[in-house]
Structure 1
Amino acid sequence: MALLHAFIRRARMACTSPRLSDGLPPDGEVLLDAPDERLAPALVAAGLGDHRPAAELLAATRKAGEWEDRDRYVTLLATFARSRGEWFAHWCATAPDDPDALLVKAELAVARGWQSPARVEVLREAGPLIRAAAEGDPRDPVPWRVALDHARGVDPDHTEFERLWGEAVRRSPHHYGCHVAALAYLSAVWHGSHGECFDLAETAAQDAPPGSLVQTLPLRAAYAYLTDGGGAVVSRDRLDAAADRAIALSSRYTPADPRPAEVRNLLTYVLVALERRQDAWTQLRLIGPYATSFPWDRASGDPLGRFLELRDDVRGQMAAARAVPSARPFLPRSELAGRVPAHDH
Structure 2
Amino acid sequence: MVRTMPSLRALFTVRRVRPTPPTTGLPPDGDVLLDAPDDRLGPALVAAALGDHEPAAKLLATTRDAAEWENRDRYTARLATFAHSRGEWLAQWLATSPGDPDARLVEAELAVRRAWQSPTRAERLRELSPLVDAAVAADPADPVPWRLALDHARGAHTGAAVFEARWEQAVRRSPHHYGCHVAALKYLSAPWHGSHGACFDFAEQAADDAPAGSLVQALPARAALAQLLSGDAAGAVPEARIDAAAERAVALSAVYPVGDPWPAEVRNKLAYVLIERGRRTEALEQFGRIGRYATSFPWASVSDDPLARFLEARDAVRSCAPAAVPRFGRAGHGRAHGHYA
Q: TM-score range by the shorter chain?
A: over 0.9
Change (3 A) 1:92 1:29: same
Of 9, 22, 29, the match for 2:13? 9
Of 242, 245, 248, the match for 1:245? 248
The reply to whether residue 104 of structure 1 matches residue 106 of structure 2 is yes
Residue in 1 aligned with 2:56? Answer: 54
Matched residues in 1 for 2:196 and 2:11: separation?
A: 33
Q: What is the percent sequence identity of the aligned residues? A: 63
The offset of 1:329, in angstroms, is 2.5
The offset of 1:115, in angstroms, is 1.0
Matched residues in 2 for 1:186 and 1:335: separation?
A: 23
The reply to whether residue 278 of structure 1 matches residue 281 of structure 2 is yes
- What letter is aligned with 1:284? F
The offset of 1:202, in angstroms, is 0.3
Change (3 A) 1:82 1:5: farther
The reply to whether residue 333 of structure 1 matches residue 327 of structure 2 is yes
Q: Partner of 2:329: helix, strand, or coil? A: helix
Q: CA RMSD in A?
A: 1.6
Q: Partner of 2:152: helix, strand, or coil? A: helix
Matched residues in 2 for 1:154 and 1:296: separation?
A: 27
The reply to whether residue 130 of structure 1 matches residue 124 of structure 2 is no
| Structure 1 residues not aligned, in runs of 5+ | 322-327, 338-345
Give runs of aligned pairs for residues 111-150 of structure 1, distance below 5 A: 111-150=113-152
The reply to whether residue 179 of structure 1 matches residue 176 of structure 2 is no
Residue in 2 aligned with 1:342? Answer: none
Aligned partners of 2:272 and 2:298 also within 8 Å: yes
Matched residues in 1 for 2:283 and 2:273: separation?
A: 8
The offset of 1:10, in angstroms, is 1.7
The offset of 1:269, in angstroms, is 0.5
- What letter is aligned with 1:311? R
Matched residues in 2 for 1:39 and 1:143: separation?
A: 19
The reply to whether residue 206 of structure 1 matches residue 208 of structure 2 is yes
Matched residues in 2 for 1:71 and 1:20: separation?
A: 37
Residue in 2 aligned with 1:236? Answer: 239
Range with bigger deviation, 24-33 or 230-239: 230-239
The reply to whether residue 190 of structure 1 matches residue 192 of structure 2 is yes
Aligned partners of 1:186 and 1:196 also within 8 Å: yes
Aligned partners of 2:287 and 2:314 also within 8 Å: yes
Aligned partners of 1:12 and 1:27 also within 8 Å: yes
- What letter is aligned with 2:184? A
Range with bigger deviation, 229-238 or 86-95: 229-238
Alpha-carbon deviations, 1:267-310, whole Å to 9, x = none? Answer: 00010001011110000001000000000011011100110111
Normalising by structure 2, what TM-score? 0.92
- What letter is aligned with 1:9? T
Give runs of aligned pairs for residues 263-342 of structure 1, distance below 5 A: 263-317=266-320, 321=321, 329-335=323-329
Q: Partner of 1:21: helix, strand, or coil? A: helix
- What letter is aligned with 2:196? H
Change (3 A) 1:125 1:7: farther
| Structure 2 residues not aligned, in runs of 5+ | 332-341
Q: How many residues of Structure 1 are paired with residues of Structure 2 in the alignment?
A: 326
Residue in 2 aligned with 1:153? Answer: 155
Aligned partners of 2:231 and 2:330 also within 8 Å: no
Q: Partner of 2:90: helix, strand, or coil? A: helix
Q: Partner of 1:25: helix, strand, or coil? A: coil
The offset of 1:19, in angstroms, is 1.8
